[in-house]
Amino acid sequence: MPFPTRLLIEGEELILDLRPHWIALVRAVGVAILTIVVWIVLLPRLPDGSSHDVLFWLVIGLGILAMLWWTVRDSVHWATSHFVVTSDRVIHRQGLIAKNSMEIPLEAINDVRFHQGVFERMIGAGDLIIQSASESGREVFGDIRHPEDVQKTIYHQGEQNQKRMYQGMGSGAAASSNNPTGTPSMTAELQRLAELRDTGVLTESEFQNQKKKILGEG
């Protein structure tokens, strides 16, 4: 299931929509295989007698619980997780029924790093570490596909986002005598920052700092 485009704001472009790397499913597959092997090996060897049925269903039940706890949970987590880069923000969203989502505005990102072990480098997986000025602070995203390419994409989109903001500020300054309320691009940017503040992504002080930058006061 792709990332729902209805969650994008007006004028926002979807750049990357990534599922976690398949390495995130190794535990799920391993538990499923191990459970089936245990059933095949152990069930035919259960002793006959009055306790046979109890032991039989006990082994079956424990196997089902193990697969529900690890196999099904990890599979649902993988299938419903999105690491998204847009022209305005980084979004991490997961969950089927109970959903969890976090957003980091590109202008709030201070640093993006990635970490790959030897095996992770061979299979194209790794961790992405984002340091931002928002309340989330330092965030580590695991099992990212090709994290180095994602890092470059975030930096590139951040640069493009800054250019758009500067162009909006420039056009706003040129038209300030005729349009004291600001240009449409500046207004849209201020509205977007207000939405981020209202949803808790930005604190009030962060909102005011970004607002001053857009208005050319900072």
Give pLDDT tens digits for 44-94. Answer: 888 876 677 788 899 999 999 999 999 999 999 999 899 999 999 999 988
- Return the half-sphere exposure (C-beta side, CA atoms, 13 A cut-off) of residue 201: 21
pTM of the entire predicted model = 0.68
CA separation, residue 212 to residues 110, 169, 189, 192 (Å): 18, 11, 12, 14
Let me know if domain 9-22+80-215 sits in CATH 2.30.29.30. Answer: yes
Dihedrals phi, psi of 49, to nearest 5 degrees: 130, -175
- What pLDDT is recorded for position 169? 53
